[in-house]
Amino acid sequence: MNPVKDFSRPWRFGERAFRCKRLCFLGVLCGESAESDLKSEFHRGFMRNPLSEERYRSRLKERKEDIRGPYFRDQTAIIHSLAFRRLKRKTQVFFAPTNDHICTRIEHSLHVATIAATICKGLGLDVEKAEAMGLGHDLGHPPFGHSGEELITMIAKKREPASRPFHHEAHSLRVADKLANEEGGLNLTYVVRDGIVSHCGEVTDYPIEPSGDSPDLSEIGERGKLPSSWEGCVVRISDMIAYLGRDLEDATRVPLIQDENIPEQMRKELGTKNGEIINTLVLDVIEFGRETGRIGFTDEKHQLVIRLKDFNYRNIYDHPLLQEYRDYCRRVLDVLFDHLLERYMHWRTGPEAPAASRRFVDNHFAYYLRRLRPLYEEEGASPVQIVVDYVAGMTDDYALRSYKEIAFPEPLEFREWQRGQ
């Protein structure tokens, strides 16, 4: 069935037919637009959010909303944060890429935001909510991608067995709430914070719909929480759509695989290029949402998504080349943790102001501790938690440079001609 033709059928839930001639690459619905009608009809009908708008707009610290509105303001706060800027040099899948065409974490975040916005346009949901969640969902992702996430858990537990697993979803919320900006976080709305902490794109248990719970989000440390909004559900499924196609395309560019290695049915039904896969799956999610009032894939596409994810794991994520890099990253992070813990314990029992060092990483870590000291004293944070926060904020490049500084210090210079001066 031609998905574009199928997509042009009348919208089943509304009184007015909604037609779309085409879906532009990465996110703009074109053709006859009835977005405002769609939004109002959907909100009155099947996709009504379970919590009040007052709850969704609430913030940790009260602020008067300005002309941007609450959710576009959140977008700008995220984009201007240092944590967001660092995503441009953090791994998506391929470690510290020198090829500018290989996806990094910041590009992935933009993909998630635009895919989520497109689905929300098709379902009459709040685009600005979803875009803010998509932009901020990986603010706390560590260097070296998901390998870095697993390694930080392993290394931290080796030094402090009681420490809880490192999950980038929970840490992204920690960054947004506490670590970003010296003023004490980005002060995002509740619904955007909820979308960040519950976005886990690794799950495949679709369809989903929002929960009616309104917990203290800062207490969530594990994966699995359902989003509290339809827009959060859209961002969760958009995360999966964003990485499956892009990781496949990058793997053919490296190349770890060739197009002909991809099973024929997946090539035929989903495509081989990132844009083709996004287009196919976005249309499918919109169609499924209109027919069922839930967020998910049709049965046929759901099975293909599961197969594509399994294919990516077997042929990309578990590829011997990436496993070799993972072992190297483990050594890098091990050295960083030991060194920074030793520095912290030395400074904590010594003078209040750490002495200047020949190493940039030592000086910057001391600067970081001075900035965040009030927060860590208030929390009673352990030394391991402090080092986890600092290392998770590193880019791939900075982690590698710091490792070299520690493992291979600059040689002393002997200037014999200066002896008599």
Domains (ranges, CATH) in the chain? 35-139+180-318 (1.10.3210.10), 321-409 (no CATH)
Q: What is the mean pLDDT of residues 68-86?
A: 97
29 has pLDDT over 50: no
328 has pLDDT over 70: yes
Distance CA 302, CA 310 (A): 12
Q: What is the mean pLDDT of residues 202-210?
A: 85
Residue 185: exposed, middle, or buried by beta-carbon count in 10 A (0-12, 13-18, 19+)?
A: buried
Q: Could you tell me which residue, 219 or 333, shows the higher pLDDT? A: 333
- The chain-wide mean pLDDT, for the chain, equals 86
Cβ atoms of 176 and 139 within 8 Å: the answer is: yes
Q: What is the mean pLDDT of residues 68-93?
A: 95
Distance CA 16, CA 11 (A): 7
Q: What is the mean pLDDT of residues 59-75?
A: 96
Q: With b meaning 16 or more CB within 10 Å and e meaning fewer, what string describes 387-410?
A: bbbbbbbbbbebbbebbebbeeee
1 has pLDDT over 70: no
Give 79's Cβ-side CA count (13 Å radius): 11
Q: Mind listing the pLDDT tens digit for each residue in 113-134?
A: 999 999 999 999 999 999 999 9
Write down the residue that tokens 């400074």 correspond to. Answer: 347
- CA angle (361, 387, 334) in 5-degree steps: 80
The DSSP annotation for 102-143 comes to S-BHHHHHHHHHHHHHHHHHHHT--HHHHHHHHHHTTTT--T
Q: Mind listing the pLDDT tens digit for each residue in 283-314?
A: 999 999 999 999 999 999 999 999 999 999 99
Distance CA 211, CA 233 (A): 10
420 has pLDDT over 70: no
Tokens describing residue 316: 């990309």
Structure letter (DSSP) for residue 374: H
Q: Mind listing the pLDDT tens digit for each residue in 54-63?
A: 999 999 999 9
Structure letter (DSSP) for residue 226: P
Cβ atoms of 293 and 47 within 8 Å: the answer is: yes
Per the DSSP assignment, residues forming a β-bridge with 91 are 104
Lowest pLDDT segment from 17-31, 65-79, 188-202, 241-255 = 17-31
pLDDT for residue 347: 83
Distance CA 166, CA 159 (A): 14
Write down the residue that tokens 């998901």 correspond to. Answer: 146
Q: Give this prediction's pTM.
A: 0.86
Distance CA 314, CA 261 (A): 12
Q: What is the 3-state secondary structure (H, E, C) of 137-180?
A: CCCCCCCCHHHHHHHHHHHHHHHCCCCCCCCHHHHHHHHHHHHC
Q: What are phi and psi of 139, to 5 degrees?
A: -55, -30
Q: What is the mean pLDDT of residues 87-97?
A: 84
